Structure 1
Amino acid sequence: MKPSAMLSKWRFDQWTAFAAASLAFLLLAAIFGPLLSHYSAAEISDQSLARPSPLHWMGTDIHGRDLLTRLLCGARISFLVGFFGALVSLMIGSAYGALAGYAGGKVDRLLMQLVDLLYSLPTLIFVIVLIALLEAPLRKAFLAWQLTTLLPYIRIFLLFLGLGLVEWLTMARVVRSRVLVLKEALFVQAARVLGRSPWGILRHHILPHLLGIVAVYLTLTVPAVILSESFLSFLGLGVEPPSASLGTLLADGAQTINPIWTAWWLLVFPSGALAWTLWALNVLGDKLRDRLDPSSR
């Protein structure tokens, strides 16, 4: 291998290792950071819009709440929405794509035409409509069941569901294309000749060969869901206050922008955390795709 090629490969692996370390650091900070903080995420003080200092490392917001603590709690919620939304996408997309690819014929054409139809719809508008339709009935049901402690988490649950329901389309297409190839493989034909049922063939012979490509696109779906959640929260349709996500923190920072004075730390730190998280996830997803997805080579 030429020295220039070795240097390029080393740099790429170095960036991948840095992305993995960054993601691990962000996850640990989001999980354990709020527990170690001296402040509460909802604790209001008289130090409104205080600049970063040794007392408040990232300053405070307009209500005097510590921004670092709220940023860690917001990152935790954004990670939860991203991971659970991606899992919903994984379950629906994998099952749908495997069924379409293995059934073939008219069933395949019908199912994929439905996917094409859903692709033509604005996905975020679908999530907004879903939240608008289901939030009020769920609130009434929780009040009737005396589950008042769960009321602040209704919007988060709807974000899990809504974003997962709109992000599965790409997963379904990828799984279907792979199943179309695998069902013609010799070991699948041998299993069919031996009398294995279609469900048994899918479960024992096809699905295990999809783990690599599914893991790749699951990694790439997480940042897409996080970005969508941040955008919805920025519009005021995401996490309800006093809870916070990276999107709501950016929205709070945007409200302080005026021609006279701007609390820059309310924008710089949340946007930096969001950009860092998305970068780390996308780098790891690209690396996994290069390693596990044969079609990318």
Structure 2
Amino acid sequence: MADFKLTILWSDWLIYLLVVTLAIFFINLARDAVTRKRWRKVFVSPLGSASFLVIVFYVAIALLDSVHFRLPLQQLEGSDTVHYSQEVNSLLDLTLQDLRGNDEKTYSEPFAIYSFAKENRTLDSGQVVRDFPRLEHAGSHLPTGKPASADIFERTMHALVVGALLTLALWLLIWVLRWGLGLSSGQGLQASAWLPWKSILLTLGALVLVSTWVMQLGGYYHILGTNKVGQDVLFQAIKAVRTGVLIGTLATLLTLPLAVGLGIAAGYFKGWVDDLVQYVYTTLSSIPGILLIAASVLLIDVYIETHPEQFQLTAERADFQFLALCFILGMTSWTGLCRLLRAETLKVSQLDYVQAARAFGVSNGRIIGKHILPNVTHIVLIALVLDFSGFVLAEAILSYIGVGVDPSMASWGNMINEARAELSREPVVWWSVAAAFSMMFVLVLAANLFADKVRDAFDPRTVG
């Protein structure tokens, strides 16, 4: 009998395609000396290299959560047919099994061993008291009388030692690879000496230490507490990484063809082309964005409800709604970048060397590709990363008003939506919002810092 059934969602294909595209991009980058020199300016910066590693770490989590499968159900006696569970799991679920499987009844604070809410308990004497019950999983390993704080400290020290050893092993592996690559090029360790290795190694060490600490303590305590139904908040925040990475990336990439194509065409050709493009993006900009997105999402919901036969699994329905949201966000958010590119193209097209190329009969396509596009690339890069941040935050806003991703899909927006009532109670349940905010903050900050370095490297006014 098969141990599992591989299940590939449409969003899984897209993230695989994204990773392959990035790999091809970096392979082609190595062949272009001019572009390689510009990107080298990005990674020679300690801040640029560190933020890039953080982004790669988030993408790695999203990849682990994009390998989906279904486990087989118990086979009936006398039957050869194998039926599979309707629940779709991922490699990330297996990796974080300790965090995922230790559900409690309701809220509990970070590192707590007692519930956050009081319950009626009957003592051995028959007396009924109202008290904070002991959690079922968190701290259940503790021997009688041992305080949780001492055990947490011991396990933290053990996790840091293990993480330090793994970090040293990783640093040694990097040193060996540097030496090997340097010998093949005849330059020894100087082959990549221009990289800020101190910043790279410290960032990798911090990521390894944090990951090791979470893996070591996550099976014994709820590091960021539990939510209303007793699920581990840290697990939910990590599961939401895939949603944040994909919605920011896919929606951003969908804006690129329309914004770049129409913006440059309007600024370069002028005349009726410019009038038509301005009419389209002015009309679209005049419609309130949230209302337009909400109306489109509600239409998708109606389609899903009227065609249930097309979605056999809950995960397939949630995935379709998620991709539709990415498409809607992309199709309604290209106007700002298009306006910027039109204005910049109007300026660049009047430069002497562009006018000289026209006078010598160079084709419009070659002028746009060789002279216009390189001079607006820095605007595209910085605008796309700002849009990425905006889309990640927009998902949280849309989920808050009930028109975001499916409630069954883990996302930072759904976490904030579920926690909004928790902020008005006394005492305040703050850890769900804090977990979602922290994960979003790190991703958006790393993306913006990396974008600043890319902008500095590709801006024609700074390229030497």
TM-score grouping bracket, smaller chain normalisation? 0.7 to 0.9
Alignment partner, residue 148 of structure 1: 312
The alpha-carbon distance between structure 1 residues 174 and 64, as it changes in their structure 2 partners (threshold 3 A), is same
One-letter code of the match for 2:403? L
User: Residue 58 of structure 1: CA displacement?
Assistant: 1.8
Alignment partner, residue 110 of structure 1: 276
Matches within 5 A, 1:81-160: 81-141=247-307, 143-144=308-309, 146-149=310-313, 150-160=316-326
Q: Which residue among 233, 237, 240 is the counterpart of 2:403?
A: 237
Deviates more, 1:179-188 or 1:60-69: 179-188
One-letter code of the match for 2:55? L
Alignment partner, residue 9 of structure 1: none
Q: Which has the higher contact order (CA 8 A, sep 6+)?
A: 1
TM-score of the pair, normalised by structure 1: 0.81
Matches within 5 A, 1:1-297: 16=48, 18-32=50-64, 34-35=92-93, 36-39=95-98, 45-53=103-111, 54=217, 55=220, 56-141=222-307, 143-144=308-309, 146-149=310-313, 150-185=316-351, 188-189=354-355, 191-193=357-359, 195-203=361-369, 205-294=371-460
Instruction: Give yes or no for contact 2:298–2:403 (8 Å, CA) kept in 1.
Output: no
Instruction: Give yes or no for contact 1:216–1:289 (8 Å, CA) kept in 2.
Output: yes
Alignment partner, residue 6 of structure 1: none
Instruction: Give yes or no for contact 1:44–1:63 (8 Å, CA) kept in 2.
Output: no
Hey, what's the Cα distance between the residues in 1 that align with 2:305 and 2:264? 36
The alpha-carbon distance between structure 1 residues 60 and 44, as it changes in their structure 2 partners (threshold 3 A), is same
Bigger fraction of residues in helix:
1
One-letter code of the match for 2:322? I
Hey, what's the Cα distance between the residues in 2 that align with 1:188 and 1:201? 7
Instruction: Give yes or no for contact 1:216–1:292 (8 Å, CA) kept in 2.
Output: no
Instruction: Give yes or no for contact 1:124–1:228 (8 Å, CA) kept in 2.
Output: no
2:248 alignment partner, SS class? helix
User: Residue 71 of structure 1: CA displacement?
Assistant: 0.8
Hey, what's the Cα distance between the residues in 2 that align with 1:283 and 1:122? 30
Instruction: Give yes or no for contact 2:252–2:387 (8 Å, CA) kept in 1.
Output: yes
Q: Deviations over 1:7-64 (max 9, x none)?
A: xxxxxx65555544443333334444735201576x6834422222343222221122
Structure number with greater Rg is: 2
The alpha-carbon distance between structure 1 residues 153 and 29, as it changes in their structure 2 partners (threshold 3 A), is closer
Q: Deviations over 1:49-91 (max 9, x none)?
A: 2222343222221122222221111121011001100001112
User: Residue 102 of structure 1: CA displacement?
Assistant: 1.9
| Percent of aligned positions that are identical | 25
User: Residue 97 of structure 1: CA displacement?
Assistant: 0.5
User: Residue 119 of structure 1: CA displacement?
Assistant: 2.6
Q: Structure 2: 5+ residue runs without aligned partners?
A: 1-44, 66-91, 112-216
The alpha-carbon distance between structure 1 residues 16 and 183, as it changes in their structure 2 partners (threshold 3 A), is same
Q: Deviations over 1:242-291 (max 9, x none)?
A: 21211111112223234433322112111122222222222333333344
Instruction: Give yes or no for contact 2:252–2:330 (8 Å, CA) kept in 1.
Output: yes
Hey, what's the Cα distance between the residues in 1 that align with 2:240 and 2:295? 24
Hey, what's the Cα distance between the residues in 2 that align with 1:226 and 1:278? 8
Q: Deviations over 1:135-175 (max 9, x none)?
A: 3125534x35x343321223211211121122211211222
The count of corresponding residues between Structure 1 and Structure 2 is: 282
